[in-house]
Amino acid sequence: MLLRLSAITFSFVLSFIIVALVLHLSHKKSWYDKIDERKIHTGDVPRLGGIGFASAFIMVTFIIAFLAPEEYFGLRFFPPLIAMVLVLVFGVLDDFRPLAPRYKLLVQIIAGFCVIIPDYTFHRLVFFNLDALSELRWLRYPVSFLWIVGLTNAVNFIDGVDGLAGGISVLISLAYALIFASSSTGSVTLLCICLAAAIGGFLIFNMPFPRAKIFMGDGGSQFLGFILALLPLITGGDARMVLPLPYAAALLIIPIFDTIAAVWRRTRDGRRIDSPDKFHIHHKLMNLGLDAQKVDGILYGLQLVLGLLVFISVKLSGGLSLIVLGITYLLGIAFFVTIHYMNRAAMIQRKFIQEQQAG
């Protein structure tokens, strides 16, 4: 217990120290986030905060992975550790000088292979065990690969309001910890809590009270997406049955649904999938007149409910589990659809008022 508390404390303190140092250096070197039409902040704000919590988490993970008794750690976990470093390094490079989308995708593809080659994959893609259908077991590799690449980008999409991506990630990692803790996956549970602690060391500087002092940047948001995708894949033995794909996806409904909406929206409008816009879920909530604190509060609340429902669903069995899981997805769909039409109505009303004033 003492060693676990030490690891959690170390994650928080090291993250806090590194973020503070990066913040000081960024002001000294004028490494500020570029302001454009998509950004909602004003003033000179650094965007390299992800270096702090990511570096702290990588260090703690390295120690845990090579001291853990579970068979799914040790040398086998070395490729995912390399992938963590790759995602962070190239994400930070992208913060300094934006990389072409194809290069970012290439790094994410390499990171994905670093995870699935040592066999860190989902072992349940649906509500039955693929081991019982040996001819379909190969599907877990491409599905897990797409899961990793997709989520690495999805968390990046919701990083648009002070404290949002970090806070949502803390809640997701703690939900993971709660689920894994009840299934005797001690080292994975500890990793989840250490991730939350490391992000906490960053959030002290990132919350909108009254405004963020530093952003996590693409390096931080892509790293978080990658780690949140990795955590449900690294458990082994009986614990592989803990969190099948439908349950893991339900826990990450907010970034997943926001990404699906963005892809559909840009495809419909004939734009590139990676082209930026101001129609993500946080933009829509702000368009309804909410400030950053209220946007955080609403989405934090939704994430808490989603986490609780997924935990209950995992602990139940048979039809009851499917019913609760279905309620979780329906709640996510209802929320996104409601905000979409409220935002549309607000835009129509605003346009009508402008036309009336112009006339």
pLDDT at 355: 73
The least confident of 30-39, 58-67, 192-201, 311-320 is: 30-39
Q: Is the pLDDT of residue 238 over 50?
A: no
Q: Above 90 in pLDDT, residue 258?
A: yes
The pLDDT-based confidence of 73 (bands split at 50, 70, 90) is confident
Q: What is the mean pLDDT of the chain?
A: 88
Distance CA 38, CA 41 (A): 9
Residue 224: the pLDDT is 97
Query: How far, CA to CA in Å, does 40 sit from each of 85, 95, 206, 213, 292?
Result: 30, 17, 14, 14, 10
Average pLDDT of the segment spanning 177-193: 85
**Position 185 pLDDT exceeds 80:** no
pLDDT surpassing 80 at residue 81: yes
At 190, list the tokens.
């500890």
- Mean local confidence (pLDDT), 195-218: 91
Nearest to 306, CA basis, from 240, 231, 248, 358? 248
Task: Break the chain down into helix, strand, coil percent, rounded to 5.
Answer: 75, 0, 25
Q: Note the pLDDT of residue 41.
A: 47
- Nearest Cα neighbor of 126 from 340, 349, 353, 322 is 322
pLDDT at 210: 77
Q: Measure the CA–CA gap between 190 and 120, rounded to whole angstroms.
A: 18
pTM of the model: 0.92
Inter-residue contact 145 to 138 (CB < 8 Å):
no
Dihedral of the alpha carbons of 263, 309, 292, 9, in degrees to the nearest 10: -110
Task: Say which residue the tokens 């009986």 belong to.
Answer: 238
pLDDT tens per residue, range 294-309? 999 999 999 999 999 9
Q: Which residues contact 322 (CB under 8 A, 6 or more apart)?
A: 127, 313
Q: Is 327 helix (H, G, I), strand (E, B) or coil?
A: helix
Percent residues over pLDDT 90 in the chain:
62
CA distance 193 to 343: 36
CA distance linking residue 180 with residue 165, whole number of Å: 22
C-alpha closest to that of 302 among 264, 328, 268: 328
Amino acid, res. 317: S
CB atoms within 10 A of CB 310: 27
**What residue numbers bound the domain in which 304 lies?**
2-358
Peptide bond into 210 cis (omega under 30): yes
pLDDT of residue 32: 80
The DSSP code for 77 is: G
Total domains in the chain come to 1
Does pLDDT of 144 surpass 60? yes
Q: Cβ distance 152 to 105 under 8 Å?
A: no
State the Cα–Cα distance between residues 298 and 284, nearest whole angstrom.
12
pLDDT tier for residue 240 given thresholds of 50, 70 and 90:
very low
For the chain, what's the residue count? 359
Distance CA 354, CA 197 (A): 47
Element (H, E) at 344: helix 318-358
Q: Rounded to whole angstroms, how far apart are CA atoms 120 and 113?
A: 10
Residue 40 pLDDT: 53
